[in-house]
A and B are shown apart, each in its own frame.
Chain A
């Protein structure tokens, strides 16, 4: 087994006063191997973004704090690392792209200056070399005629083009891990398809590992080999894409897969998961999906199930399906 690139163990994140904390991330385990593409899927409030922000310690502390757990990157402990050293890693080893490309770019800096800044922070090179590198990056992310766009400002680009610039900044220093938090949510479908293709392309060319956060399983299926399903701050299922689609083990994942409308499916009614997504930290005991689950049993209300392994690449946290598979394998 190769050493993981990123290894998150038992991560818990809390908000609010220490005396009465609101726990928004609960015992999250996440592992990304070098060059691997992993997705995190979840609805709003599931904790997927907080998880990804915690990795680079970008969640503001206070009000939040990492209450427990460890995050290691290539064996180095990111939680124990001094801020200065962490800053050195951000952008060089781990880069991040966000949902809204306009608000993540500086509106008064040219594209060349913004991409150049990312390079300047981590690598020493002459101005001419830097410019050549910026042009090369713009070409990599598919901006036509990059030489003429160097002096352009973000407002002169469309949404898809801005996201390409963001990706260029992110991969400027050949990071080993690229964290993308809903990178295509603000984009139209035809532009989304372009950006997803670009991410796959960049991964292939630079061998960057990708952690893709999305609410859309379809987007994750395009890019990733493995996916974690989050619900109310818990990872409820962790599986390779194929087993997840063919044989989902958690009732929430099953419901989600059936509830998503499909292009080809003409059922006259969609399956609906009853109830609504619980507020962060509102569930203190038992399985967070208990109230909406159609397989629930008494034990589910009392104790949160641990992840149980269904195959070498498939785990889920459910009392009921765990027992079912034991019965089957016995």
Chain B
């Protein structure tokens, strides 16, 4: 068993609602992430999926300590980063990098591509002079499929997909052991999405970094992840290998998500279940199981007692009192799931 690269232990984040005014009551706190625990090994891709407001982006930022957790610990290669000093944390940032969603907002328009990609290298003193810097930038650009000749251009001369390649090159520049990508393809056109997904997959296999891939699209995730965690209102509802999540989902929310995703094909792989109602606000997470307000299987106990995230199969955990394979019957239509053994799937 590999030593885990990332360990999240009961990580939580509450954004305080802020003080009220003289005439205004204090707004309620936002419970963005609530008691999330998992481990990731070297070379593993864990996808975090969920709808907007489920806390997936906050979780990604907590793991890099871009925001301070309210509770719990994050260990990177065994070091608890939540207690590191500023200077120590800066050194730690060499090992952890992030790729952002918006390729237009995340690259400074006033800098050249070379300056953007080389910045992390300079911060950590990994290049000694300009010639070395340009060599390294050229190498990184080649790795992400861009010609090195573009390094003196500005970001505005690039399309969304190309900008995302630049963002990836920048994250790779310091050779990190952990990369968080927050919705890296959701702003891209479909024909470009495939290019970026393939690129990230290739780079991950080659460089063997641990990869946390945050997405709302379950179909995208199926291509890139080894394991999948499904979040709802700040909590992990289900976590398991890709095969477990897609073929024997045990949490009703996972099943509902799978059945709601539109598919560009005629035979729908999952029987369709349309959940009633909206996602409750994270300022007012329901008592008991947070999913009970929308769950077709909810019973009395679900309104009172929050189910813990418990093991339901080796390597698969679900937070549901009535966790059972295919409990909503979404796979009843007999999904034509591809049974061929993917070389990337792990047991």
Interface residues of A (CB under 8 A from B): 43-44, 158, 160-161, 188-194, 196-197, 215-219, 221-222, 241-242, 245-246, 255-257, 259-274, 276-277
Contacts and interface: CB of A to CB of B under 8 A. Distances in A.
Lowest 7 CB-CB distances: which A-B pairs, in order? A218-B262, A217-B264, A188-B51, A193-B260, A43-B189, A259-B194, A270-B194
Contact of B190 (A43, A160, A266): A43
Contact of A263 (B269, B274, B278, B343): B269
Nearest to B266: A245
Interface of B: 51-52, 159, 161-162, 189-195, 197-198, 201, 216-220, 222-223, 246, 256-266, 269-270, 272, 274-275, 278-279, 294, 335-338, 340, 342-345
A183 B344 CA distance: 36
Nearest to A231: B191
Nearest to A257: B264
B194 A221 contact: no
Given A242-B266, A273-B194, A276-B159, A261 B223 contact: yes
Given A274-B195, A277-B191, 4 more contacts: A190-B257, A190-B279, A191-B279, A276-B162
A221 B190 contact: no
B262 A268 contact: no
A261 B201 contact: no
Contacts, number: 145
Contact of A44 (B189, B194, B265): B189
B223 A260 contact: no
Contacts of B344: 268
Contacts of A193: 259-260, 262, 272, 274-275
Contacts of A189: 51, 216, 218, 257, 260-262
A267 B343 CA distance: 10
Nearest to A186: B52
Contacts of A262: 219, 222, 263-265
Contact of B263 (A221, A269, A270): A221
Contacts of A255: 191
Contacts of B257: 189-190
B198 A261 contact: no
Contacts of B201: 268-269
A99 B201 CA distance: 32
A229 to B, nearest CB: 12
B234 to A, nearest CB: 15
A93 B281 CA distance: 38
22 contacts: A44-B189, A188-B279, A190-B51, A193-B259, A193-B260, A194-B275, A218-B261, A218-B264, A221-B266, A256-B191, A259-B194, A262-B219, A263-B222, A264-B222, A264-B338, A266-B340, A266-B345, A270-B223, A272-B195, A273-B191, A276-B162, A277-B189
